[in-house]
A and B are shown apart, each in its own frame.
Chain A
Amino acid sequence: MRGGMGKGIHFSKLYTFSCFRSKFEDEHGQLGQRGYSRIVFCNDPDNPEAVQLKYRGNYVSTTKYTALNFIPKSLFEQFRRVANLYFLVVACVSFSPLAPYTAVSVLAPLLMVIGATMAKEGVEDWRRRKQDIEANNRKVEVYGKNHVFNETRWKNLRVGDLVKIYKDEYFPADLLLLSSSYEDGICYVETMNLDGETNLKLKHALDETASLRDVRSFQNFKSTIKCEDPNEHLYSFVGTLYYGGQHHPLSLQQILLRDSKLRNTDYIYGVVVFTGHDTKVMQNATDPPSKRSRIERRMDKIIYILFSTLILISLTGSMFFGVDTKNDIRGGELKRWYLRPDKTTVFFDPKRASLAAFFHFLTGLMLYGYLIPISLYVSIEVVKVLQSIFINQDRDMYYEETDKPARARTSDLNEELGQVDTILSDKTGTLTCNSMEFVKCSIAGVAYGRGMTEVERALAKRKRSRPHEVTDSSSDLPECNDHVVDSGKPVKGFNFRDERVTNGNWVNEPHSDLIQKFFRVLAICHTAIPDVRKESGEISYEAESPDEAAFVIAARELGFEFFERTQTSISLHELDHESGRKVNRSYTLLHVLEFSSARKRMSVIVKNAENQLLLLCKGADSVMFERLSKDGRLFLAKTMDHLNKYAEAGLRTLVVAYRELSEQEYKSWEEEFLPAKTSVSAARDALIDAACDKIERDLILLGVTAVEDKLQKGVPECIDKLSKAGIKIWVLTGDKMETAINIGHACSLLTKGMKQIVITLDSPDISDLEKQGDKEAIQKASRESIAKQIGEAKAQIIARKESSVTFGLIIDGMSLDFALTKSLESSFLEVAVNCASVICCRSSPKQKARVTKLVKVGTGKTTLAIGDGANDVGMLQEADIGVGISGVEGMQAVMSSDFAIAQFRFLERLLLVHGHWCYRRITMMICYFFYKNITFGFTLFWFEAHASFSGQPAYNDWYMSFYNVFFTSLPVIALGVFDQDVSARLCLKHPLLYQEGVQNILFTWHRILSWMLNGVISSMIIFFFITNSIVNQAFRRDGHLVDYEVLGVTMYTCVVWAVNCQMALSINYFTWIQHFFIWGSIAFWYTFLVIYGALPLKVSTTAYQVFVEACAPSPFYWLATLLVVVSTLLPYFAYRSFQTRFKPMYHDIIQRRRSEGSEAEVSAELPVRVKEKIDHLKERLKHRES
């Protein structure tokens, strides 16, 4: 190593692969072959060869459509829906003489519906386009021919361009890092947009290019990169740089990906390697899995039923028609001579009756097409979009602190929210705040820290709530004093109160040397980066995880202020306890043995000013305790005791230890470690782990830290409500079992009366086997043990089935692996679904997704996953509904979620209120839609039966076309958007109401078919009542008779009235909007009749003056309408009144109680508040007494 251990050392050497190039050969040998053929001429994009390669520009378009293909492509999308396709075919056929009505009257509503959907698509796409335009027009500096950096737009960037990126700018394309403002060519990158991780990543240039830091040095810079073709692997890159007559292998370490951000580095120079859609992030952009709600899937089935009905009645019609037509000529004689069957077209030809019947069948398909509601899809879409707007607007789901409202990112799943059976929740950041606070520690067997945790408080509260138990006043005290006593202002992430340690008092403690070492480890052993504010001198930290930040902050607050990190050193301000002054201490950083979830620990190797080599290590207790040296176990028993106490209190614990290394030992180890570190094979991680394992031994225990992961506000109440609503809640967490169980207790997932079933591999036999290291034996034993435990659990559940004991299942990640194998899967699921709550601890992201899938597929019920971090993405996408918490852990989870909320507690409202409403609305809406179209369609059929099935519609063409568009659609939309069976407060007060959705009782086949039957009955009443009462006789005093047109108008009037009044009967919530739409629709029908009838004959044809001249002056018309409308409504009304009275559904009960006044809304809540206040007063009184 050059320059010894001083500052001159090129830290990058430790990371780059410059020493061990041979390893690359196998992979790099592929360059130039298939998949590895890209050639980039650096700083020479105008090179004719480069131009010839025709790489794509940096213009990015994420839109679904372009201006050119919008029309064809979106049309294609539209007509992939069966119903739309059907209507297109109908519209085409309607130009032929087969059509029972004019083509325009079919085309117009279809165009309207398609147009509306296309407009929606267009608007959505336009938004994406605007984002693209913004991205494409961002500015970047490019090295130009005039040898200076000129500003240009992102979209003009070409492969091979040399660019300069400044601090906090996004990279415009995938770049090869040439050099940076640091002399050794490193830079920090934030990749939050890629993987959601907020920590900074270190990248570094090749030594050979790191010196190109001057604008002038690029004048003659020419080189060639050969590398892999564009691909979607974010974590691999293969390539070589030909520069200075030599090939230099490249790796991901030199690649800066588009959409990540330059941090803590003033500027970098880079060469564009992949542009635009070739960049890794764009290659990675896949459309999220499209999710369809259960309701919609069932709706498709209903559409098929209606199609079959349509075909059936068309077939019936065409058979009768065929027979009638055949009989028109019998024995050479014309029967119905007025139809001229002797001189006819094929459609009515008695000689070819079967062919005529076939054509008639097609006509029938068109005529009865009104059974299929053309506007159903578009109405549902409109309704769902409006519903989402209401979800987004809800003030009660708006989080003021971060200014984040709830966001429905997709509107497709609104009603699914009302059917959630199982919630799978992440813990950290979801149930908890993910803002860690350092609250306690145990050093050298002495426990420090007097703060009280949320969990302890919850436990204490539970104890207190029991009337007979004497309250433990000592545990109450800190609660009040907590924030008052300490004079210092509160520091975020630090809630440590102990006068023995704070303010430098630790010096007087018995093991002050160990305390010093302990905090030094906290101050040194991390990957955080300090950010010193120039004006105030305050230091904040950018850390990989909030835990780590908490440690560094704790160290700072206690006098070990970490203030500078260079590539090779870490510097602290330390309080010298002899002189009582701050001194600078710098440690040479030799190696960072990084944290991984497998290793569960991290270490650094440093050399201090005294030239001592130290290995500082912190990690999970399970891995740390076994690594202690014999001498290092001095305080082991006490520390473990403390550790368990902390875990019980729901704290996250880490064990802190260190060891001293001899120069010899270090050297020999490093020789082993470096090759491992620089290898690129798949076994790299394993090699590194093995190497690390060798040195992280014989540690000396210092103590244990305890960090509190605070529960989010309202979580226990929310979980309580949700479980009262019958929703099962599974918590999938990476935490250790004790913490998880405690969090479970704290947020009322696990209750006192609950029987806990713990499935774990943490048994002595297995750890014995582990020590022997026989992997197969471990596997076998583990599987058997898990199978046995699951079997026992099953027996337990069966045994207590009758009693009201509830179970809570706790399983750890290792066991989960076995439980999720094929053979055990089903029995595991069986146990799990019988438990009220399930906690899976120590589970990996992949396991989370697998568990989600198991629940989803295994139970066939709706699952909802909620999480906030990148590690939850799999789970969110796998579940039926993914809810992202827009918290602190980046946007990754939100980006892949269907709904985003700011706090876990909003889930309660999202599900119980919006979910329930949306479910109810959509189901009602669909049922009603079918009802109204069947009512209408069947009147056509009954009329047909009286028109010799000739295919003559009963109504004027335009009446029919406007049926679904104007006269009946708006009230349905109002129903879908505004209806509420019970108010939001009552929804929350009666969580059991939610079960209506879970059990799907509003959308059973029974209910759907009943509605359809209701439609058929209505149509019969309308047709037969009208025809029988109107049939032959005059319908006015002046002796005029009812003709085809008047009958049509009368029947249609009845249909419009009946259908709209049915709506008025079915909804539970009348605001002026509903009144406006319902009565407005009916009024519009009359208005339409008048206006349409007044239009010139050419336009109005048969509808000319019908209403004004014939119907309106006739009392008979109005009386018949009244009779028919009331008669159509009575059956439904009678059914509903009997059902609500004698077999009420849950919402009926709540509605009735409300209307009877026993459900006084405010008064029900008031006592709770009053009670709380009284409790509070009592407490204060008690304190005063003591």
Chain B
Amino acid sequence: MDVDGESTSAVATEARLIPVLSGRSKAMYQFTQQSLPACKPVLTPAWVITTFFLVGALFIPIGLVSLHASHSVVEIVDRYDSECVPDLFKSNKVEYIKDMSIHKNCSRHLKVHKHMKAPIFIYYQLDNYYQNHRRYVKSRSDRQLLHGLQHNDTSSCTPEESSNGLPIVPCGLIAWSLFNDTYSFSRGTHKLRVNRKNIAWKSDRNHKFGKQVYPFNFQNGTLIGGGKLDPNIPLSDQEDLIVWMRTAALPSFRKLYGRIEDDLNVDDVVVVNLLNNYNTYSFGGTKELVLSTSSWLGGRNNFLGMAYTSVGFSSILVAFIFLLLHVRNPSLNIRAVC
């Protein structure tokens, strides 16, 4: 803000008092005498109004651009957790999901309402699922994930730390509760190309999950949690697991499943064949399948744009109120107060 003349004049008088001072000792003198040249911002009406207007002028465009970006994203959300339960079990979904003998096939038809350009991201969304619960978050062993059996201490993984005297690989509640619904997509008669590679973080694949670690005894326990893993594929290639193990921040979350590498056109009907394996019924959670394109800002969410515009507008409003009050109360001269 404004640098007023005072600091310079003060320096000038000081300089007169201390006639010969080299640059450094002068700086030292100013420092010890607390008279360093300084910027002293003052909230003058002009500054206040300018600032508020500037905030408005900056925020409203950003908000509009963000909104635009958000709107350019096409998103199809389909909740299937109750629809995929046969009517017979509608009253007792938990029993249905726990019954291993029942085949959990289900197919859904999604209509594309707007052209979707590849890559189209496939997400599954869970609600009311506390992946951020302390017991859950802590129940993993990063060193085991990287080093496998070379790292024996799996105490952090309780209660899923070992089976038959050997540490479970991968151990812990997170891995144990691996999401295991599967999806396949087709348009008309032919299947859509779904790329399920590179859905996890690169650093996770390369540095967090071992290339030599195989899940040889995963889900052998008495109580089966979620999905199983192919014991012949090393953990670093088990991208579903890696994605799952990046715990979500909030109880409602999406996770990346894969990418459809074909464009979808308006009024295309995408048939989803899914296996509804995962138990969200016990805790009253929901499951959704999401197909979404992305913009430079990511997925579809108007909040950021709305927030920007509303903060921008309210800041301009405040500026006007301030201006109005300022003009209407000119009599409140500061000199009168002294």
Contacts and interface: CB of A to CB of B under 8 A. Distances in A.
B243 to A, nearest CB: 9
Given A345-B158, A1033-B298, A950 B133 contact: yes
Given A1029-B301, A1104-B208, A1142 B136 contact: no
B332 interface: yes
Contacts of A1098: 143
B299 interface: yes
Contacts of B42: 1068, 1151-1152, 1154-1155
A1073 interface: yes
A343 B158 CA distance: 9
Contact of B250 (A338, A1040, A1047): A1047
Interface stretch (B79-87, B227-235, B307-315): B307-315
A1104 B35 CA distance: 45
B135 A1044 contact: no
B133 A1034 contact: no
A338 B4 contact: no
**Residue of B35, B134, B326 with most chain A CB atoms under a 10 A cut-off:** B134
Contacts of A917: 34
Contacts, number: 266
A761 to B, nearest CB: 45
Given A1033-B301, A1044-B248, A1155-B42, A333 B13 contact: no
Contacts of B308: 1119, 1123
Nearest to B125: A1032
Given A980-B34, A1041-B256, A1097 B146 contact: yes
A675 to B, nearest CB: 64
Q: How large, as a class, is the contact surface on chain B?
A: 35 or more
Contacts of A1097: 142, 146, 207-208
Interface in B248-306: 248-256, 259, 279, 282-284, 292, 294-301, 303-304
A1074 to B, nearest CB: 8
B322 A340 contact: no
Contact of B283 (A335, A1038, A1141, A1159): A335
Contacts of B311: 1123, 1126-1127, 1130
B337 A1144 contact: yes
Interface stretch (B44-52, B163-171, B180-188): B44-52
B304 A1161 contact: no
A1037 B307 contact: no
- A interface majority secondary structure: helix
Contacts of B4: 1154-1155, 1157
A1048 B249 contact: yes
Contacts of A1156: 44
A952 B322 contact: no
Contacts of A950: 130, 132-136
Nearest to B75: A1033
A1160 B283 CA distance: 72
B159 interface: yes
Contacts of A1029: 301, 303-304, 307
A1155 B40 contact: yes
Nearest to A1036: B298
A1154 B6 contact: yes
A1031 interface: yes
Contact of B6 (A338, A1048, A1127, A1161): A1161
B19 interface: no
B37 A1071 contact: yes
A726 B6 CA distance: 27
A947 B137 CA distance: 11
A1123 B62 CA distance: 10
Interface in A323-377: 333-340, 343-345, 347-348
Contacts of A1122: 62
Given A1043-B246, A1070-B38, A1162-B13, A1110 B201 contact: yes
Contacts of A1134: 52, 318
Nearest to A1108: B203
A1101 B41 CA distance: 43
Given A335-B283, A946-B251, A1032-B252, A340 B33 contact: no
Given A1116-B297, A1127-B311, A1101 B135 contact: no
B247 A1043 contact: yes
Contacts of B15: none
Contact of B299 (A952, A1035, A1141): A1035
Contacts of B292: 1033-1034, 1039
A905 to B, nearest CB: 18
Contact of B294 (A334, A1039, A1043, A1140): A1039
A1069 interface: yes
A1144 B42 CA distance: 12
B172 to A, nearest CB: 10
Given A1041-B255, A1105-B203, A1142 B329 contact: yes
Given A348-B135, A393-B32, A1115-B296, A1101 B55 contact: no
B43 interface: yes
A394 interface: yes
A1044 B132 contact: yes
Interface string A1121-1147: 011001100100110111011101010
A482 to B, nearest CB: 30
A395 interface: yes
B99 interface: no
Contacts of A1141: 43, 45, 48, 322, 325-326
B133 A1151 contact: no
Contacts of B2: 1155
Nearest to A389: B32
Nearest to B45: A1141
Contact of A1161 (B10, B45, B158, B223): B10
Nearest to A1120: B304
A1153 interface: yes
Nearest to B295: A1037
A1162 B14 CA distance: 12
B43 A333 contact: no
Contacts of B129: 338
Nearest to B133: A950
Contact of B298 (A347, A1048, A1116): A1116
B159 A952 contact: no
A1149 to B, nearest CB: 5
Nearest to B208: A1097
Interface string B68-80: 0000010100000
A951 interface: yes
A985 interface: yes
Contacts of A1030: 301
Which of A396, A1032, A1110 is the most central at the interface, judged by chain B CB atoms within 10 Å of its CB?
A1032
B304 A339 contact: no
A483 B184 CA distance: 111
Contacts of A348: 135
Given A952-B137, A1035-B299, A1126-B59, 15 more contacts: A336-B130, A336-B282, A339-B173, A948-B132, A1029-B304, A1034-B299, A1041-B254, A1044-B137, A1044-B249, A1047-B250, A1116-B304, A1127-B311, A1130-B315, A1151-B40, A1154-B42
24 contacts: A337-B279, A339-B135, A948-B130, A948-B133, A950-B135, A950-B136, A984-B35, A985-B10, A1034-B292, A1041-B123, A1048-B249, A1070-B41, A1116-B304, A1126-B55, A1126-B311, A1127-B311, A1141-B326, A1144-B337, A1149-B334, A1149-B337, A1152-B42, A1152-B44, A1152-B334, A1156-B44
Closest 8 CB pairs of A and B: A1033-B299, A1047-B249, A1039-B121, A338-B177, A1034-B299, A1137-B48, A950-B134, A952-B134
Interface of B: 2, 4-6, 9-10, 13, 32-45, 48, 51-52, 55, 59, 62, 66, 73, 75, 94, 119, 121, 123, 125, 129-137, 142-143, 146, 158-160, 173, 176-177, 201-203, 207-208, 223, 225-226, 246-256, 259, 279, 282-284, 292, 294-301, 303-304, 307-308, 311, 315, 318, 322, 325-326, 329, 332, 334, 337-338
